[in-house]
């Protein structure tokens, strides 16, 4: 999965991820995030009677955190541009 992500990032040449020495750092962040997600899933399995339920809850939590962070970034950027003008 990390390889597919790396190929997509290189294919679209997103400057924030592929410029200078950013690309190896981004790949390292993705790898460490994957191992942390596996660990949190293993710990969360003890809270549920079914292990697939814990994986679903952790996945939904990750998606919710991502959406909330994205919304906060958009709101702060809109606020910044409204104050600059």
Q: What is the DSSP string of 6-74?
A: HHHHHHHT-HHHHSTTHHHHHHHHHHHHHHHHHHHHHHHGGGSSSHHHHHHHHHHHHHHHHHHHHHHHH
Tell me the C-alpha distance between 70 and 6, whole Å. Answer: 21
Q: Distance between CA 41 and CA 20 in Å, rounded?
A: 34
Structural domains in the chain (count): 1
- pTM of structure: 0.68
Query: Mean of the pLDDT values across residues 70-79?
Result: 96
Query: pLDDT class for 12, splitting at 50, 70, 90?
Result: very high
Q: Which domain holds residue 25?
A: 2-84
Structure confidence at residue 76 (pLDDT): 96
pLDDT of res. 16: 86
Residues in CB range of 55: below 8 A, 6 or more apart: 41, 44, 45
């Amino acid at each position: 999965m990390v390889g597919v992500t790396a190929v997509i990032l290189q294919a679209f040449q997103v400057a924030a991820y592929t410029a200078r020495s950013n690309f190896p750092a981004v790949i390292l962040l993705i790898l460490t995030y994957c191992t942390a997600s596996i660990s949190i899933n293993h710990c969360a399995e003890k809270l549920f009677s079914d292990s697939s339920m814990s994986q679903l809850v952790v996945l939904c939590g990750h998606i919710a955190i991502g959406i909330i962070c994205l919304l906060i970034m958009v709101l702060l950027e809109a606020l910044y541009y409204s104050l600059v003008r």
